[in-house]
Amino acid sequence: MSFDMAAFLGAISDVVKPGTARPFVVHDHELETLPAAQVHNPTTLRIAGKLPTSTFEVFRQTIPPGLSSDMQRHYHETVHFVISGHGHTELEDESSPWEAGAFVYTPPWTWHRHYNDSADEPVEFLTIENSRLLSHFGIARRQSMGLATVDEARKAHDTHQHLG
């Protein structure tokens, strides 16, 4: 038996063809800002929710000067493309700097937090995550610890949980 991509995608959901409600081009001013209560941190997340994607989500994320995202982990993978600004990401027990033009990868179920290291300029990310695909399978999960540290997040949650 061979793998059939069309059959696999058809089993996930019906294909959403571009149209008036779901165009194949969405402009920056058309992005929808997620309510602050859903974001749990000082960043602004604007979603390109009208795109007819069926397996991934696309966001424009802004981290104000000197601030950070929340400490979180989730089952989905995420890639942030740094549009502008510079900072660093704390990922479990590692930290790495980045700047405009970099791609920042967050693997599934790892505690992480993104920091804007500038006192004057915001950081702008293009964020792409496969959360929609996992939602189709009923396995989307996210935990947020607000502005906690990795150690505080580990103490508050069972760090021995694994996908499985």
Q: Where are the domains of the chain?
A: 34-156
Please give the pLDDT value at position 163: 44
User: What is the predicted pLDDT for the residue at 51?
Assistant: 87
Decide if 89 contacts 105 (C-beta within 8 A): no
Question: What pLDDT score was predicted for residue 81?
Answer: 98
- Consecutive 10-residue runs of the chain (164 residues): their mean pLDDT? 59 63 86 83 88 90 96 94 98 96 97 97 96 86 88 80 45
Q: What are the residues whose beta carbons fall under 8 Å from the beta carbon of 45, sequence distance 6 or more?
A: 33, 34, 39, 59, 60, 61, 127
Tell me what pLDDT residue 162 has: 46
78-84 and 103-106 strand pairing: antiparallel
* Choices 2.60.120.10, 2.120.10.80, 3.90.550.10, 1.10.150.20: CATH for 34-156: 2.60.120.10
Query: Could you tell me the pTM of the whole model?
Result: 0.81
Residues 6+ apart with CB under 8 A from 59: 31, 45, 46, 47, 48, 125, 126, 127, 128, 129
Residue-level pLDDT at 122: 98
* Predicted pLDDT of residue 40: 75
Question: Strand locations in the chain, DSSP E?
Answer: 32-33, 44-47, 57-63, 72-74, 78-84, 86-91, 94-99, 103-106, 112-116, 123-129, 142-144
